[in-house]
Chain A
Amino acid sequence: MDLLSVSNLSVGFDTPSGQIRILDQISFTVGRGQSVGLVGESGCGKSMTALAIMGLLPVAARATGTIKLDGQDLLTLDDTAMSGLRGRRLAMIFQEPMTALNPVQTIGHQVAEGVRWHLGLGRRAARRTAAELVARVGLPAGRQGLGRYPHELSGGQRQRVVIAMALACGPDILIADEPTTALDVTTQGQILDLLVQITATEKMGLLLITHDLGVIAQMTDRMMVLYAGRIVETGPTAGVFNAMAHPYTRGLFAALPSSDLVTSGPRGRERLAAIPGDVPAPSEALQFGCAFAPRCPLAETRCRSSEPPQIALQADHSVACFRPQGQT
């Protein structure tokens, strides 16, 4: 049984003008020690996927489907039961290290809070644990280090603190929602290395969310491409990079700076210009047909009238498109 198994997850918002769908029938699994990437442009529903798993969706959101952790459906749990799992079995790292930490509490206090809360450790023991955690993410862990406030830290250091907090209770699943987007390039690399090292030694399942295909290539075993709330292509990362089938995946790849991924490009890749247009607003998308049609260079009449089929390519690699590319 997979550690985390999401099936047919849909998320909608109740708005005055009716329900809008943000996620549509998402399914995937994350195994122990596995690293799964979720990639897509901003606004396509990546954070909502993460928050749905954490049980932290905005109050106006409604989630349907199942999200099973070790066979237990999280969507049926109440908030108290979910609170018992959050931080202990499910942990999350957020995009904005500048705002994710409480500005008026020391980092030692904030890192220790999780273990005090879940494991009932006393102040002393929690502080020792906090010192270990802070040292593990590569920050000074002495009295001085733990006594610092978030404003005294750089963005990369703050993100390390957020990672230390997420690791505190040894979670089974770590969700990292664009953990490096807000950081400069060198720091990005360091934080990604840290995540790799930690998830490998801890045998955690990692759900890595990013808009950067380069990060996906570097970090993940499996990947999913999300567009307007639907998974349009999924498969083993190496397999997908070898034969990108969805025009959107190819567009994302083409939009990468050319210095990235020179070795792992798709065979015989023809460069598309960066994808024109924008992700449709949820209220406009997901009506009929393929949501990507308005931006797709290959769109045909049928793309606009009926939903593209899910086509299994090879070895777990599948795509939702009428005209999957690179297939002979």
Chain B
Amino acid sequence: MALVLARRFAALAVTLVAATMIIFLIMEILPGDPAAIILGVGAQPDTLAALRAELGLDLPVGTRYGRWVLGLVTGDLGQSYTYSVPVSELIGERIWVSLPLALISMVLTVLIAIPAGVFAASRRGRLADTGVSALAQIGIAIPNFWFAMLLILVFAVSLGWAPAGGFAGWDQGPGSALRSLALPAIALALPQAAILTRVTRSSVLETLGEDYVRTARAKGLTLNAALWRHAVRNALIPVVTIMGLQFSFLLAGTIIIENVFYLPGLGRLLFQAIAQRDLIVVKDLVVLLAGTVVIVNFLVDLAYLALDPRLRQAHAHAL
């Protein structure tokens, strides 16, 4: 077990380092000189050179990469070209919008999808199953920004239960902040919940046909008890895999959804930074997103270990 964990940690570290290298290299290759962007067209060559020296752009590639990674580790993410404030400050404010948004969406996704998927599987071929599957089909077909507009129309414009956009901030108390996040979180979650429902349903159907479920029934467990105690936990392994992927989709989804709802989050920041060629912000945000995805994958690996004792053996191969 300890060996298995150590191995996963090592893999995590290697992946993180590789991610920073790739991102740094891509940003190097991309055309566009930050100094030129900051000063605009028609800047004097000597002013440009001075700014480049100030930004450290004239240093060798290796040094710049080293400084950047050191900065990432110590929390010094550099200065935004357009906002002229430290990037860490920009991110620090906005992460408290995006992270809760993604987490709430993930929780909603799981809370909807797992019961719905298990329920549909237990009613295979019956009306309830057909109903759930049809809803899931619709959920998958409709993009989240369309859900967002629908939710705004119904719950914000007509019913007035939640704001149509904007973010009240956490200092107003969690109530109003959560109300601002409710509709965006639902809009983000619904398509993912639809996908996860289908994954859960088919995975549970598969485990329901396993011999050990029949053994459980032979012990006297009712169908429902055998379902929840034996089929569901075994069915969760593929479900967790998809959940890990979905968290990345949710992060990416925040870029669109934060724009629809005017939420001051990382997604909007990334969108604006790209539009304004604020390369250092883009670079830091991308590394943050990539890092999150890598860490989520690591957590998924840990979840596998918790779910499946066979994988806790040092010799265990893939699933």
Interface residues of A (CB under 8 A from B): 54, 56, 79-80, 83-88, 91-92, 94, 96, 99-105, 113-114, 117-118, 149, 151, 162, 165-166, 168-169
Say yes or no: B310 contacts A102, CB within 8 Å: no
Not counting A102-B215, A118-B220, a sample of 14 additional A-B residue pairs whose C-beta atoms are within 8 angstroms of each other reads A83-B221, A83-B222, A86-B217, A87-B219, A87-B221, A91-B218, A92-B218, A96-B211, A99-B211, A100-B212, A103-B234, A117-B219, A117-B221, A165-B219
Contact partner of A102 (CB less than 8 A), chosen from B223, B230, B313, is: B230
Number of interchain pairs (Cβ within 8 Å): 76
Q: Determine the chain B residues whose CB is within 8 A of the CB of A86 once the complex forms.
A: 217-220
Max chain A CB contacts within 10 Å: which of B222, B223, B308? Answer: B222
Q: Determine the chain B residues whose CB is within 8 A of the CB of A83 once the complex forms.
A: 217, 220-222
Shortest B49–chain A CB gap in Å is: 64
Q: Determine the chain A residues whose CB is within 8 A of the CB of B221 once the complex forms.
A: 83, 87, 113, 117
> 1/0 per position for B217-260, CB-CB distance to A under 8 A?
11111110100011001100000000000000000000000000
A295 CA to B32 CA in the complex, in Å? 84
A104 CA to B231 CA in the complex, in Å? 10
A87 CA to B215 CA in the complex, in Å? 10
Say yes or no: B214 contacts A102, CB within 8 Å: no
Contact partner of A104 (CB less than 8 A), chosen from B211, B225, B309, is: B309
A54 CA to B222 CA in the complex, in Å? 13
User: Closest residue to B230 on the A side, CB-wise?
Assistant: A102
Shortest B279–chain A CB gap in Å is: 48
Shortest B158–chain A CB gap in Å is: 45
Shortest B102–chain A CB gap in Å is: 29
Shortest A259–chain B CB gap in Å is: 32
Whether B216 sits at the interface, judged by CB under 8 Å, is yes
Q: Determine the chain A residues whose CB is within 8 A of the CB of B308 once the complex forms.
A: 103-104
Q: Determine the chain B residues whose CB is within 8 A of the CB of A103 once the complex forms.
A: 212, 234, 308-310
Say yes or no: A151 contacts B309, CB within 8 Å: yes
User: Closest residue to A106 on the B side, CB-wise?
Assistant: B309
A85 CA to B308 CA in the complex, in Å? 31
Say yes or no: A104 contacts B233, CB within 8 Å: yes
Q: Determine the chain A residues whose CB is within 8 A of the CB of B217 once the complex forms.
A: 56, 83, 86
User: Closest residue to B215 on the A side, CB-wise?
Assistant: A100
Say yes or no: A56 contacts B220, CB within 8 Å: no
Whether B307 sits at the interface, judged by CB under 8 Å, is yes
Q: Which 3 A-B pairs have the closest CB atoms?
A: A87-B220, A99-B211, A87-B219
A–B pairs, 21, beta carbons within 8 Å: A79-B222, A83-B217, A86-B217, A87-B218, A87-B220, A91-B218, A94-B211, A94-B214, A96-B211, A99-B210, A100-B211, A100-B215, A102-B215, A102-B230, A105-B230, A117-B221, A118-B220, A151-B310, A165-B219, A166-B218, A168-B219
User: Closest residue to B218 on the A side, CB-wise?
Assistant: A92
User: Closest residue to B221 on the A side, CB-wise?
Assistant: A117
User: Closest residue to A109 on the B side, CB-wise?
Assistant: B229
Given A99-B211, A102-B230: A84 in contact with B220 (beta carbons within 8 A): yes
**Majority secondary structure of chain B interface residues (helix, strand, loop or mixed):** helix
A113 CA to B219 CA in the complex, in Å? 8
Shortest B129–chain A CB gap in Å is: 13
Say yes or no: A54 contacts B218, CB within 8 Å: yes
Say yes or no: B220 contacts A114, CB within 8 Å: yes
Given A104-B308, A104-B309, A149-B310: A114 in contact with B215 (beta carbons within 8 A): no
Max chain A CB contacts within 10 Å: which of B210, B215, B221, B230? Answer: B215
Contact partner of A56 (CB less than 8 A), chosen from B212, B218, B230, B313, is: B218
User: Closest residue to A162 on the B side, CB-wise?
Assistant: B215
Shortest A79–chain B CB gap in Å is: 7
User: Closest residue to B222 on the A side, CB-wise?
Assistant: A83
A84 CA to B219 CA in the complex, in Å? 9
Say yes or no: B234 contacts A104, CB within 8 Å: yes
Q: Determine the chain A residues whose CB is within 8 A of the CB of B223 once the complex forms.
A: 79
Shortest B241–chain A CB gap in Å is: 16
Shortest A210–chain B CB gap in Å is: 18
Shortest B94–chain A CB gap in Å is: 40
Q: Determine the chain B residues whose CB is within 8 A of the CB of A88 once the complex forms.
A: 220
Shortest A209–chain B CB gap in Å is: 14
User: Closest residue to B233 on the A side, CB-wise?
Assistant: A104
User: Closest residue to A51 on the B side, CB-wise?
Assistant: B214
Say yes or no: B214 contacts A56, CB within 8 Å: yes
Shortest A279–chain B CB gap in Å is: 23
User: Closest residue to B236 on the A side, CB-wise?
Assistant: A104
Say yes or no: A102 contacts B234, CB within 8 Å: yes
Shortest A194–chain B CB gap in Å is: 18
Shortest A11–chain B CB gap in Å is: 17
Say yes or no: A94 contacts B310, CB within 8 Å: no
A133 CA to B218 CA in the complex, in Å? 17
A94 CA to B221 CA in the complex, in Å? 16
In B120-176, the 8 Å CB interface with A consists of none
User: Closest residue to B312 on the A side, CB-wise?
Assistant: A149
Say yes or no: B220 contacts A101, CB within 8 Å: no
Shortest A31–chain B CB gap in Å is: 22
Say yes or no: A117 contacts B310, CB within 8 Å: no
A101 CA to B308 CA in the complex, in Å? 14
Say yes or no: A102 contacts B216, CB within 8 Å: yes
Max chain B CB contacts within 10 Å: which of A87, A88, A104, A149? Answer: A104
